[in-house]
Structure 1
């Protein structure tokens, strides 16, 4: 650009240009187009121009009047965007740079001239001693004309100077200074804070002042307390009303501490109330004996459960989630507790104006079961008739969509956990994935690492190392495009390519921010259809055929142990598969709600709808430990302390516009914001678009499976349709979840299942103990109020003779050797602590396959602990039994109530009630997460001290027929469906090994009768069988529960009739009922084979509990032309009442179950419901006939006008 001939000579003149003189200068330097831009904005002087940051922002406005000017200054793109010409930008930037330079020269010149100003008198001696004064004056002049906001810096300088001219005890600090100091203390730690404070006097307040500031801050977190009011304020601050909740847990160091503020003991596992919510302040007592009993009887918290809510807003800013509550738990909860808690959270948030649209967790089995109940996904719906129910209008041809149209909220399993589960299954040593004729294993990945350059694939051996079970980064690397392209060159890698593409689609659908909503739906259903095809193939292939494929593909032989019920190990775990199904259905449901206008578009921000918000909170709490301590883990109390610091810091960040504080931003967060901004364009979606996208995903998966040439996917030479595949899978899943599983439920696995989160483990090396640091919960600091302390005898423990009344609640009154003493409650915790809780400080050791179970408090003895430590130099050794409560007698007997949960589905018409929720039981044919652990590397007992399955099997020898021989007594037992329940019962009943059975089994095993000398009192076997048959017939005829004759009142009644009779157990009854059912089926099949013609009736019935049932009956003539009715099937109908679902049920019963030939089908009679008519009018069951009773009923109703008149406007 043209420059001024003399900057100094033109400085004053140029800075004063305005109007025509100014425009002439601009035209000379930048051109006429820039002049027109400035005139359009009324920029008429140099002063005005210097105050404007960017003159081209004006052209971004959408106005027809600016189009001519835009065409001169730049280029209009086809997508509506506008780009300014680079040459014009360069001229303007150079011109502005020159003007700013001239302005700075003018300011400096003014400063130098001010030395001769009589108003500014600074002694020369003072300037020589403090030369920074001249710089400070220049800074002040520059500050007045600068565009940078120096408000915070001005406040600091002013506050420091004011403190310098006062005594140190009179130092005062501005509110913004306190917030800055608090942020520095939290982010840098105490050491860094003290370093800055000591080297810059009068800048920062003392550490005690900062700690008091944090303690008095708003939104203080209390264990177990749900902060709904603060959550409402947070949502209002971010202008959001939609929220997505997340719940997860992490391992902690078990330790009991005393909180002086609430007068409670923190670290015990909090009990849950009838809403599944922890009961706060459950452990507060003034009785030392009561505390001692708690230590002996109650379990300490080994995990910390956190519940967060993520605001969903149209804002492109990164809104942090809000921590509603956190509490310690022993991880022994049920899925019913989760459902109750979610319902309670929903209602409380609704009362505060927050609409919770969903919940996200990891892939824990109990959370998965809670999601099924909440969604009614192949389960009884828990929220029927709720006033806030969401509803969508599902097209009838969406046979691939299994979720019911009414939902209260949606559920999503954490996609990162799903990816890691799929990776762990691929790396598992106990499972072998098999697809078609392909082995899905890591051998192709090893081949790539060995044969190709790292520049091509970026893989290392640790990426396929099974030790790190939470390595999501390796999931991303092994499913990258480069790896998939290289696998195309590896022989026999079709299976692993399909598997890794499923992992990639999960990342694209749920994790990546920039994915368009239609692409999310596309990739979500790609994963669903991949595993639906796989699931169908596994179930339609015989076990021996799978074994044959395995031996042919691997060249290995199947051991006798693996021949016994390992068909499920050829597929992924059931948690992973159902998580994939639930996620795809929830995403599609949200998309339909948005397309119908019932939810805003921000409800589709799926990258925020996961439990990683909980993981991030745990990482943040670990990251703020002191630099002087290597410990990264925490107790419950330490977590609350650290999280309160984070809450204080977040509150300061939220007020950044007022306090003028600026915080650094991680480059990943910046990238996230950019991606979110680019993906924030709202896409208009419709149901037709969704349907087409799903069918496109189905076609894509069909092409993936074509090279495998699996015959089960073909019908008449063509691949089966999406409708046929979905109907088959729907039936399989319905049977899968409705199969009664007494063996699994008897193990009570709903209580023992652990989360996939960083489960803590006792590792022999690299342990972090409950260290003493500045973050420990300290004792009451008002120790100067204690009188008559004998330091020489009671050094190291707070045991005093007197305390002030206002601090008396912090002490126990005890009698020690006949003297009345006051023992501080925190000191009592130290006294009763018998073991130091440990937890590995290395994240990898907490998630490795070879790690033992989570750290569990070791069994401890009741009574006192003697200590020889010099810090406790008491005159006589302290024994806990010598502490006598100096108060009236206090009952320490706790009332233990055993709450039993019904295994029956939830009645639809009943309100959500704890006693009606089903307890979780794992299905027979589903692999559990325990199969991820290598048999030789896990411990032999569970956390509750019971023998694991491998330890049980070690007492038996597997026979060639799949049965087991006891190594001690050589008795033969059968392990039904791979369950070891019978083997456990045998070890307990015959060999007195109590650790072999679970506590729930002990309650069901009848005690051994005492030997009697009189053998005549024994009931004969014939009479016993007669009575057993009568009981079974009674249960079948009256539809009674299997446990009816095991209840105490019924047993006493039977004993009255015959004291010698022992009624059968529910297992025996279940077996007899099953035998009777199969005998009935065999009889019906035998009859139907001989009958030339069979007529059918079908109907759908709704019970009083609002459950729907579908029935099918057969009718025929005998030799005397007497009508013979038979019930073929009656089952609960949980699917939508669509013609395709009804027809699928009827065809399954006739074709597969009873094998009734088409020529035998004489016709079917149904009511006049439209879906029933459509399902039975195709001739598949013979001609359809309308039920005459239904027809007459309709005639009467129509004739008497017994219907609601139409709304005619």
Structure 2
């Protein structure tokens, strides 16, 4: 028998629950894993093949004293032979045997103690009608499970069944014994990513046992493939999409300014990521001393924006109805100081690396930021081009067979990419001009101001049902493809008519062309209908009268006027020198900020060129300091006297009050962050703050 202290150290969980039922090789496998291979051989040669036989054998080593050729080999392996001819079992084998016997005795004792409880539990398995009446939820669950058994568990019910099973099983366990299936673990990760920490904890505490705690969740995320490093592109994950074609998107969103330490890469994330020819540099901010980190804080800006790259695979003809899930390629902090050349280089970098994964990028989608618009124009050759990069001559470029009489289609035939723009951002440009307090939105002889909108909204005689100022009025998913194409080109022609009128009247203008191609429809008829619809829209503004005076009388003459005007004012851009390029009037300010008042000065001609070549340098300085504090203990802060050598890279060695301490790098980030920032959840309020800042 073992002492009480030894009994406490025995962990019977190393034994399988059915250890007392196991025989032969299943029993020997347990002996090998717990007590070693030598003890298993000793039991096997004696045909002791179960726990019952083992516990009833007085001395399993007694056979070593018999002289037999069958036992000579195992004697040499397990015993020492004395000069007198006696065999003495090696101490390690005796210790393993003693440990194994003590484990079995403890497990047997626990089993005997649980026997009365099991009998009670078996009795409680007989559920009475009275018990069901007291717990109506059980009735519903039983009925639901029976329906699932009869009809088979549907795809939509699989997770629900798993969730209920997991929750009920954990309700009968202590928190230390909570177990979660793989589907629940994946659900927990998604919930944390989409809902955040507070939402996750709210659900976990109110549905006790349903999802893992935050510590376990952190380990799951750390050990999964979903963990990303800032500025690294996840091209290897493209293989999961099982698609040879895809579309990429890029967008920037506001974030809370915060620096954190990434122990996985031993680097600090949250600063503005350096851009080298458009490519973000990963693991750039690393520090081996606290003063090095202080220098990084003093000489670099903390990012207020997050740039995100997404990949959307395109469904194949074999499974056209199934839309694949989008994939996150990369994310990193930025400061909105990029150029169109940066964007082009980054797109080509993504394009080439996707080709290495046998995925052809069809195009890119962004908002109406002027840098992205410039990059789109340069890549597609839309009245702008690069002397150093000729995308239309790329080996992977495709050809658009455009009829020669389509004078209204301005794109060149050979294209490497297609492009999409967020239509909401395009309309935002008009909205900003409409809300401007210093300029008017002129539509021919008509003048549109915010007063008209205010009068319409504040009029008690009209409701949203009358004026249609609802989201449904502008986004209708049931619209047919033919109607979408016609409406899109109607907007294009309205813009071209409007732009031509402004050009003739010497006003600055802003136009946006969003061109789509659909091969299966009668585009010529759609274009004709769209042009006629545009004529009806602008007819009341009397713009057509002035256009006719300049011989602009139909679609052909309108297209020729717009094309010639854009071509005459175009320039060519190269990396090192200015050749001839486009008057960049239509490339206005980006995002949701207020548009600057338009100007007809000659500076407009250089806007795109300056945008392409704009850059900024940072100055660095270094300063060494020793930390001083009035405190001698630092509870709640990771400042320790000694550290595990394997974690050395995660700590700074510092001197506080003439004593050597080790400061965790995440705590160093907290120490150097001198102000707390917050990000409004309301996008409109963020825009208002930005507008106020610009106007001041």
TM bucket, shorter chain: 0.5 to 0.7
Superimposed CA distance per residue, residues 70-102 of structure 1 (whole angstroms, 9 cap, x where no aligned partner): xxxxxxxxxxxxxxxxxxxxxxxxxxxxxxxxx
User: 2:223 maps to which residue?
Assistant: 216
Deviation, 1:123, is 7.1
SS at 1:394 equivalent = coil
User: 2:360 maps to which residue?
Assistant: 355
Deviation, 1:361, is 1.3
User: 2:312 maps to which residue?
Assistant: 310
Match among 720, 729, 739 for residue 562 of structure 2: 729
SS at 2:385 equivalent = coil
Distance 1:421 1:517 in 2: 26
SS at 2:276 equivalent = coil
Match among 359, 364, 374 for residue 379 of structure 2: 374
Q: Say whether the 8 Å CA contact 2:272–2:333 is kept in structure 1.
A: yes
Distance 1:411 1:293 in 2: 41
Deviation, 1:208, is 2.1
User: 2:650 maps to which residue?
Assistant: 810
Aligned length: 521
| 2:372 counterpart of 1:539 | no
Deviation, 1:726, is 1.8
Distance 1:231 1:513, change over 3 A: farther
Distance 1:833 1:446, change over 3 A: closer
Superimposed CA distance per residue, residues 433-462 of structure 1 (whole angstroms, 9 cap, x where no aligned partner): 2233222334444554566732475559xx
Match among 396, 409, 417 for residue 388 of structure 1: 396
Distance 1:394 1:331, change over 3 A: same
User: 2:237 maps to which residue?
Assistant: 230
Deviation, 1:525, is 2.0
Deviation, 1:186, is 5.9
Distance 1:439 1:193 in 2: 51
Match among 643, 646, 668 for residue 828 of structure 1: 668
User: 2:301 maps to which residue?
Assistant: 299
Deviation, 1:369, is 1.0
Deviation, 1:842, is 3.5
Superimposed CA distance per residue, residues 565-605 of structure 1 (whole angstroms, 9 cap, x where no aligned partner): xx32xx4xx3xx1xx32x12xx03xx2xxx3xxxxxxxxxx
Deviation, 1:127, is 4.9
Distance 1:429 1:196, change over 3 A: closer
Distance 1:241 1:841, change over 3 A: same
Deviation, 1:729, is 1.4
Q: Say whether the 8 Å CA contact 2:435–2:449 is kept in structure 1.
A: yes
Match among 436, 449, 453 for residue 444 of structure 2: 436
Superimposed CA distance per residue, residues 476-506 of structure 1 (whole angstroms, 9 cap, x where no aligned partner): 58xx5xxxxxxxxxxxxxxxxxxxxxxxxxx
Deviation, 1:733, is 1.5
User: 2:430 maps to which residue?
Assistant: 422
Within a 5 Å distance, the mapping from 1:920-999 to structure 2 comes to 938-939=695-696
Distance 1:270 1:850 in 2: 22
Deviation, 1:247, is 1.0
User: 1:658 maps to which residue?
Assistant: none
Distance 1:809 1:726, change over 3 A: same
User: 2:553 maps to which residue?
Assistant: 720
User: 2:603 maps to which residue?
Assistant: none
Deviation, 1:851, is 3.4
Distance 1:331 1:143, change over 3 A: closer
User: 1:518 maps to which residue?
Assistant: 482
Distance 1:189 1:450 in 2: 39
Distance 1:128 1:348, change over 3 A: same
SS at 2:691 equivalent = coil
Deviation, 1:408, is 0.1
Q: Say whether the 8 Å CA contact 1:360–1:414 is kept in structure 2.
A: yes
Deviation, 1:182, is 4.9
User: 1:1187 maps to which residue?
Assistant: none
Distance 1:453 1:334, change over 3 A: same
Deviation, 1:540, is 1.8
SS at 2:341 equivalent = helix
SS at 1:327 equivalent = strand
Distance 2:567 2:272 in 1: 37
Q: Say whether the 8 Å CA contact 2:552–2:561 is kept in structure 1.
A: no
Within a 5 Å distance, the mapping from 1:271-350 to structure 2 comes to 271-274=274-277, 276-313=278-315, 315-317=320-322, 319-350=324-355
SS at 1:223 equivalent = coil
Deviation, 1:697, is 2.2
Distance 2:646 2:589 in 1: 44
SS at 1:848 equivalent = helix
Distance 2:164 2:398 in 1: 57
Q: Say whether the 8 Å CA contact 1:197–1:204 is kept in structure 2.
A: yes
Deviation, 1:401, is 1.6
Superimposed CA distance per residue, residues 497-521 of structure 1 (whole angstroms, 9 cap, x where no aligned partner): xxxxxxxxxx5xxx64333333233
User: 2:185 maps to which residue?
Assistant: 178
Match among 266, 269, 272 for residue 272 of structure 2: 269
User: 2:411 maps to which residue?
Assistant: 403
Q: Say whether the 8 Å CA contact 1:362–1:757 is kept in structure 2.
A: no
Deviation, 1:145, is 3.2
- The alignment yields a C-alpha RMSD, in angstroms, of 4.0
Deviation, 1:351, is 1.9
Distance 2:205 2:194 in 1: 18
TM-score by length of 2: 0.65
Give structure 2 stretches of 5+ with no counterpart: 1-120, 595-629
Superimposed CA distance per residue, residues 363-398 of structure 1 (whole angstroms, 9 cap, x where no aligned partner): 111111111111111112541421101112222212
Superimposed CA distance per residue, residues 48-71 of structure 1 (whole angstroms, 9 cap, x where no aligned partner): xxxxxxxxxxxxxxxxxxxxxxxx
Deviation, 1:260, is 1.8
Distance 1:268 1:514 in 2: 44
User: 1:3 maps to which residue?
Assistant: none
User: 1:764 maps to which residue?
Assistant: none
| 2:248 counterpart of 1:245 | yes
Distance 2:215 2:223 in 1: 12
Distance 2:689 2:203 in 1: 45
Distance 2:367 2:265 in 1: 32
Distance 2:400 2:686 in 1: 43
Q: Say whether the 8 Å CA contact 1:178–1:205 is kept in structure 2.
A: yes
SS at 1:793 equivalent = coil
Deviation, 1:725, is 1.8
User: 2:34 maps to which residue?
Assistant: none
TM-score by length of 1: 0.39
| 2:591 counterpart of 1:756 | yes
Distance 1:512 1:814, change over 3 A: same
